């Protein structure tokens, strides 16, 4: 045996290969860009989104007249109806009272029981946000600034101010006695609660902007509306009517007050309530009230309505997502692709990034156009401030909904890509994604509320929650109806569900692609 | 024909007709062989039945008389329609079956072999239509009967009892029989619609997307559009929402379109798709 011949190892004469992730992205972008049909699909997705959005809003109208809602300190419509016993408080001071026996009463008929009007809604259950407590309010006009410490029927002691704000105190039951105190010092209001009137616990300190100069201090009772879910003709409907409640107050003392207590009805309650003839000055009386104090939850989300075309626009985009991978299998192109880029996980990641980026841009164009065209149409059809505040594309919630719609479409197309890679079958993958996203939209209108909410939480449809652009307040009793575009979870929670679906499908697809021959 | 004595003209015509019928029969048999020997087809057929029954059963199980006010009868729940909700899901699998029968031939290029064997294009399309609609009707029947059976078993437990005004589902009941037969025919028509669209589009992805959009977009639009007049129109014009009217057994007067006219709308869609598909199939090179 001769000694091994030492030769220089082989070195390719070619320049170093370009196999970075950037090149992979560029290759996928070239594939996507150079198929004319796919460009048409993207364009059609944008056109469909805008057209359907405009169609959806063009027939909109504002239902029901009714008295105009009062306007709160921030310029938005609010609910401000209550029964109040009050006296003037010119400067610093405090109000203390003990509240007990808070309970719901038989509901009055809406609009004061007009003949032929809607019937009263009785559920046999007192709504959780029925409340009684102490309040310092700028004046007795409906919609004026206030701060209050209240005992609620189902949510314990709360400190609430200026309609939209709410702080939790102790979890007192409505059948227990509770001492409440509100101290005014300068423009700071501090709420306290106590079980015995000696040992006080602070609930919170707030600074409502409108409470300056002489204000009114007193006690009030308000009742959250009664709502009842009913089924008829295969659909779910909600009956809502004013509630009515009563509470007993004693030990009422206003430090720094001018005296001369009066009773006042704030707003337009459905029932005229009076205090049984007792001396208000004694500070011990029963106060009945109907109507509620809090934000007015609007049922029409203008932003969501103007973006509704995305529900249809997702169909061509998911077809594109599926084709972006299944077309490679159909034409045998996948073998060339994997020869050029053997790392399969990276390949699918590159595809997802390119596809997601392109569909995001297409979705963003569609969403911005839909909003800009649809919003003026909604305004013309009667959706005007203060009930529906002015909106602009740069408002936080609107921006979240518009960009969220684009992100939603991008994530859906990535989910479609992952399903295409998993199933390797164009027809099955497209059908699966369309059935997953579109069918729940059809079924929720015919299913009972509980089942509809379950579908909206658990299916990828949950992602559409990101289109929510109206504030929903926990302390404003409202029923979340799917027909009104209400999603039971928050915008981000819903979007996260869709992202989990997409991530899981993509992970599974990468795992499958690695283990299987092409 | 070699070796046979010359025939009388009438006999010749008769023989040609018989041969044509035989040819169509052979084409049908060939199509059946094609479908039968692809494992995917069997999965699809299983999917039609399973999805229809499962989704129908889930819907029936989700609805109770709990929110009916004041009595369960006040809900006016259409228990037959509720049990047949699964057809909304099963139709997607039927649409794939119909579309693939045509588009997969273009995808793989076997359309050229198929047209060499059966050069009469009308005959080929007819054979495909016969096979897919027969399969859709058969699986549809299984799915519909299964759904009704599940509904019959599940619904009384949810408060839909005979005492409450909801007699157990039975095919002896006229409207129920109509809903069951109608749902079956509905699925058959969906298969034909998908076949026609696929003949027109010649591409699996395109055909499936168009058919699914036709089926599902109209009902979604109904929920988006707020104008009452347009809602009704969309329900009358949409192939799925109009066709599903055949499932209704209660409150027929409040339907935007009657049960049989509704199915007729879907039949018009299917006929138009088949006609357009057939014409382009005839006029274009494969």
∠ CA B116-B120-B125 to the nearest 5 degrees?
Answer: 100
Nearest neighbour of B208 by CB, restricted to A60, A312, A430? A430
Classify burial at A1, counting beta carbons within 10 Å of its beta carbon; exposed 0-12, middle 13-18, buried 19 or more.
exposed
Interface of A with B in 284-343 (CB under 8 A): 308, 311-312, 315-316, 319, 322-323, 326, 330
pLDDT value at residue B170: 83
Same domain, A110 and A25: no
Structure tokens at A123: 């559920």
Q: Which of A378, A145, A127, A72 is nearest to A244 (CA)?
A: A127
Taking contacts as CB-CB distances below 8 angstroms, the residues of chain B near A323 are: 205
Taking contacts as CB-CB distances below 8 angstroms, the residues of chain B near A326 are: 205
Same domain, A85 and A155: yes
Same domain, A109 and A167: yes
What CA–CA distance (Å, rounded) separates A273 from A114? 17
Nearest neighbour of A236 by CB, restricted to B67, B78, B205? B67
- Counting every residue written for chain B, the total comes to 286
Query: CA of A320 to nearest chain B CA: how many angstroms apart?
Result: 9
Q: For the segment B68-77, what is each residue's pLDDT rounded down to a tens digit?
A: 777 777 777 8
What CA–CA distance (Å, rounded) separates A480 from A465? 12
For residue A394, being part of any structural domain is answered with yes
* Interface contact B220-A483, CB threshold 8 A: no
For residue A71, being part of any structural domain is answered with no
Count of CB atoms within 10 A of residue A61's CB? 11
Query: CA of A153 to nearest chain B CA: how many angstroms apart?
Result: 24
Query: CA of B205 to nearest chain A CA: how many angstroms apart?
Result: 6
Classify burial at B54, counting beta carbons within 10 Å of its beta carbon; exposed 0-12, middle 13-18, buried 19 or more.
middle
Helix axes B121-154, B9-36, angle to 10 degrees: 50
pLDDT higher for B187 or B71?
B187
Query: CA of B150 to nearest chain A CA: how many angstroms apart?
Result: 17
What CA–CA distance (Å, rounded) separates B237 from B232? 9
Per the rule left: phi > 0, alpha: psi between -120 and 50, beta: everything else, A233 is left
B210 is in which domain, residue-wise? 35-283
Same domain, A35 and A97: no
* Interface contact B220-A438, CB threshold 8 A: yes
A295-326 b/e (C-beta count within 10 Å ≥ 16 → b): bbbbebbbbbbbbbbbbbbbbbbbbbbbbbbb
Closest residue, chain A, to B250 (C-alpha): A233
A214 is in which domain, residue-wise? 78-295
For residue B58, being part of any structural domain is answered with yes
Count of CB atoms within 10 A of residue A168's CB? 15
CA distances from A477 to A228, A272, A287, A298, B106 (A): 12, 22, 22, 12, 58
Nearest neighbour of A59 by CB, restricted to B209, B219, B230? B230
* Interface contact A322-B68, CB threshold 8 A: no
3-state DSSP of B225-268: CCCHHHHHHHHHHCHHHHHHHHHCCCCHHHCCCCHHHHHHHHHH
Task: Could you list the beta-strand ranges (E) of A105-214.
Answer: 131-137, 146-152, 157-161, 165-168, 178-185, 188-194, 200-206
Same domain, A289 and A361: no
Count of CB atoms within 10 A of residue A190's CB? 18
DSSP A61-74: ------SPPPB-TT
What CA–CA distance (Å, rounded) separates B254 from A137? 51
Query: CA of A423 to nearest chain B CA: how many angstroms apart?
Result: 12
Interface of A with B in 442-461 (CB under 8 A): 442-443, 445-451
Q: Kindly indicate the confidence band of residue B1, based on its pLDDT and cuts at 50, 70 and 90.
A: very low
Same domain, A50 and A164: no
Block means of pLDDT (10 residues each) for chain A, 518 residues, are 70 70 90 92 95 87 67 84 89 91 82 65 82 91 91 91 89 88 91 90 90 89 83 72 87 86 84 69 83 81 90 94 92 87 89 96 96 90 79 88 96 96 92 90 82 89 90 75 82 94 96 88
pLDDT value at residue B55: 93
For residue B18, being part of any structural domain is answered with no
Same domain, A281 and A319: no
Number of domains in chain A: 2
For residue A5, being part of any structural domain is answered with no
What CA–CA distance (Å, rounded) separates A348 from A506? 8
Final residue before a domain boundary, out of A238, A273, A295: A295
∠ CA A208-A211-A216 to the nearest 5 degrees?
Answer: 130
Query: CA of B24 to nearest chain A CA: how many angstroms apart?
Result: 28
For residue B55, being part of any structural domain is answered with yes
Q: Is A63 on the interface with B (CB under 8 A)?
A: no
**Is the CB of residue B128 less than 8 Å from the CB of residue B101?**
yes
What CA–CA distance (Å, rounded) separates A280 from A263? 8
Count of CB atoms within 10 A of residue B280's CB? 14
Nearest neighbour of B209 by CB, restricted to A233, A430, A483? A430
For residue B114, being part of any structural domain is answered with yes
Percent residues over pLDDT 70 in chain B: 96
Taking contacts as CB-CB distances below 8 angstroms, the residues of chain B near A431 are: 92-93, 95-96, 208, 212
Same domain, A134 and A95: yes
Nearest neighbour of B224 by CB, restricted to A56, A447, A450? A56
* Interface contact A231-B62, CB threshold 8 A: no
For residue A70, being part of any structural domain is answered with no
Final residue before a domain boundary, out of A295, A314, A332: A295
Q: Which of A416, A404, A410 is nearest to A370 (CA)?
A: A404
pLDDT value at residue A116: 61
For residue A291, being part of any structural domain is answered with yes
For residue A408, being part of any structural domain is answered with yes
For residue A179, being part of any structural domain is answered with yes
- Which of A58, A331, A377, A427 has the most B C-beta neighbours within 10 Å, making it the best mutation to test the interface with B? A427
For residue B28, being part of any structural domain is answered with no
pLDDT value at residue A475: 78
For residue B121, being part of any structural domain is answered with yes
Structure tokens at B64: 């109770």
For residue B7, being part of any structural domain is answered with no
**Is the CB of residue A232 less than 8 Å from the CB of residue B75?**
yes
What CA–CA distance (Å, rounded) separates A222 from A80? 9
Number of domains in chain B: 1
pLDDT value at residue A404: 96
Nearest neighbour of B225 by CB, restricted to A55, A315, A428? A55
Helix (H) or strand (E) holding A97: strand A93-104
Q: For the segment B27-76, what is each residue's pLDDT rounded down to a tens digit?
A: 999 999 998 998 888 999 999 999 999 999 998 888 888 777 777 777 77
Close Cβ partners of B196 (under 8 Å, ≥ 6 residues apart): B270, B272, B273, B274, B275, B276, B277, B278
Same domain, A392 and A449: yes
pLDDT higher for B270 or A127?
B270
Count of CB atoms within 10 A of residue B285's CB? 5
Question: Which CATH number do you get for residue A282?
Answer: 2.60.120
pLDDT value at residue A112: 59
Q: How far is CA B4 from the centre of its chain?
A: 46
Taking contacts as CB-CB distances below 8 angstroms, the residues of chain A near B205 are: 319, 322-323, 326, 426-427, 430
Q: What is the ipTM of this complex?
A: 0.86
Q: Which of A373, A152, A146, A140 is nearest to A243 (CA)?
A: A152
Whether omega for the bond prior to residue A386 falls within 30 degrees of 0, making it cis, is yes
* Interface contact A232-B81, CB threshold 8 A: no
pLDDT value at residue A120: 78
Helix (H) or strand (E) holding A82: strand A82-89
Q: Which of A82, A97, A99, A289 is nearest to A175 (CA)?
A: A99
**Is the CB of residue A142 less than 8 Å from the CB of residue A80?**
yes
* Interface contact B59-A435, CB threshold 8 A: no
Q: For the segment B203-233, what is each residue's pLDDT rounded down to a tens digit?
A: 898 999 999 999 998 888 888 887 788 888 8
Count of CB atoms within 10 A of residue A496's CB? 17
What CA–CA distance (Å, rounded) separates A122 from B199? 59
What CA–CA distance (Å, rounded) separates A379 from A32? 39
Same domain, A244 and A131: yes
For residue B16, being part of any structural domain is answered with no
Same domain, A306 and A285: no
Q: For the segment B139-177, what is each residue's pLDDT rounded down to a tens digit?
A: 999 999 999 999 999 988 888 888 887 888 888 888 999
Q: What is the DSSP letter of B5?
A: P
Taking contacts as CB-CB distances below 8 angstroms, the residues of chain A near B216 are: 315, 434, 438-439, 442
Same domain, A36 and A143: no
For residue A331, being part of any structural domain is answered with yes
């Amino acid at each position: 045996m001769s000694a091994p011949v030492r030769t220089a190892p082989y070195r390719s004469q070619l320049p170093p290969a370009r196999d970075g992730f950037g090149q992979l992205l560029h290759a996928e972008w070239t594939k996507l860009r150079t198929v004319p049909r796919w460009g048409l699909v993207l364009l059609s997705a944008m056109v469909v989104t805008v057209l359907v959005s405009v169609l959806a809003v063009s027939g909109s109208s504002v239902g029901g007249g009714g008295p105009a809602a009062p306007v709160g300190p921030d310029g938005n419509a609010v609910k401000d109806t209550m029964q109040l016993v009050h006296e003037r408080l010119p400067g610093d001071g405090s109000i203390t009272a003990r509240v007990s026996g808070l309970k719901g009463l038989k509901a009055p008929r809406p609009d004061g029981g007009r003949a032929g009007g809607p019937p009263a809604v009785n559920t046999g259950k007192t709504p959780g946000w029925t409340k009684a407590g102490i309040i310092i309010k700028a004046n007795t006009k409906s919609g004026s600034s206030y701060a209050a410490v209240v005992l609620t029927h189902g949510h314990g002691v709360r400190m609430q101010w200026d309609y939209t704000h709410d702080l939790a105190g102790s979890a007192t039951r409505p059948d227990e006695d509770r001492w409440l105190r509100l101290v005014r010092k300068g423009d700071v209001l501090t709420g306290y609660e106590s079980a015995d009137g000696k040992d006080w616990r602070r609930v919170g300190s707030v600074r409502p902007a409108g409470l300056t100069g002489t204000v009114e201090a007193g006690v009030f009772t308000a009742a959250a509306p009664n709502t009842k879910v009913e089924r008829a003709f295969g659909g779910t409907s909600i009956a809502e009517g004013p509630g009515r409640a009563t509470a007993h107050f004693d030990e009422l003392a206003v430090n720094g007050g001018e005296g001369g207590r009066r009773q006042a009805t704030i707003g337009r309650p459905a029932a005229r309530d009076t205090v049984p003839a007792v001396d208000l000055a004694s500070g011990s009386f029963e106060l009945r009230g109907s109507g509620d104090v809090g934000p007015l939850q609007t049922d029409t989300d203008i932003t969501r309505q103007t973006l509704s075309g995305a529900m249809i626009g997702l169909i061509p985009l998911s077809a594109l997502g599926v084709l972006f991978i299944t077309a490679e299998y159909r034409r045998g192109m996948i073998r060339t692709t994997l020869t050029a880029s053997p790392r399969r996980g990276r390949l699918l990641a590159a595809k997802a990034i390119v596809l997601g980026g392109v569909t995001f841009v297409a979705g963003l164009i569609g969403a911005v156009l839909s909003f800009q065209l649809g919003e003026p149409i909604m305004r013309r059809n009667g959706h005007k401030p203060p009930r529906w505040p002015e909106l602009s594309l740069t408002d936080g919630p609107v921006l979240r909904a518009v960009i969220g719609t684009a992100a939603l479409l991008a994530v859906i197309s990535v989910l479609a890509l992952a399903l295409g890679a998993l199933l390797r079958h164009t027809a099955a993958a497209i059908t699966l994604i369309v059935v997953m996203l579109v069918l729940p939209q059809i079924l929720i209108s015919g299913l009972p509320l509980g089942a509809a909410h379950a579908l909206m939480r658990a299916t990828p449809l949950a992602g559409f929650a990101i289109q929510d652009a109206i504030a929903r307040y926990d302390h404003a009793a409202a029923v979340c109806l799917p027909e009104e575009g209400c999603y039971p979870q928050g915008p981000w929670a819903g979007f996260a569900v869709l992202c989990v679906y997409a991530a899981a499908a993509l992970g599974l697809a990468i795992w499958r692609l690695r283990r299987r021959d092409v | 024909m070699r070796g046979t004595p010359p025939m009388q003209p009438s006999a010749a015509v008769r023989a040609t007709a018989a041969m044509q019928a035989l040819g169509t029969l052979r084409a049908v048999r060939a199509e059946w062989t094609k479908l039968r020997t692809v494992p995917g087809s069997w999965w699809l057929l299983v999917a039609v039945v399973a999805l229809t029954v499962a989704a129908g059963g889930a819907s029936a199980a989700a609805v109770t008389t709990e929110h009916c006010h004041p009595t369960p009868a006040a809900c006016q729940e259409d228990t037959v329609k509720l049990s047949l909700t699964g057809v909304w899901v099963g139709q997607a699998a039927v649409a794939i079956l119909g579309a693939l029968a045509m588009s997969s031939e273009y995808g793989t290029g076997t359309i050229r072999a198929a047209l060499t064997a059966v050069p009469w294009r009308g005959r080929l399309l007819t054979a495909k239509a016969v096979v897919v609609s027969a399969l859709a009707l058969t699986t549809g029947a299984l799915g519909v009967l299964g759904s009704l059976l599940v509904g019959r078993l599940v619904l009384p437990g949810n408060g839909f009892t005979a005492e409450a005004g909801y007699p157990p589902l039975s095919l002896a009941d006229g409207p129920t029989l109509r809903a069951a037969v109608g749902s079956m025919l509905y699925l058959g028509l969906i298969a034909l619609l998908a076949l026609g669209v696929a003949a027109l589009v010649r591409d699996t992805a395109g055909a499936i997307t168009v058919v699914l959009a036709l089926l599902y977009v109209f009902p979604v639009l109904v929920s988006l559009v707020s104008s009452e007049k347009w809602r009704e129109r969309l329900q009358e014009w949409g192939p799925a929402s109009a066709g599903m009217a055949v499932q209704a057994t209660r409150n027929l007067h409040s339907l935007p379109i009657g049960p049989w006219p509704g199915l007729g709308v879907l039949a018009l869609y299917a006929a138009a798709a088949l006609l357009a598909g057939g014409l382009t199939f005839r006029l274009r090179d494969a």
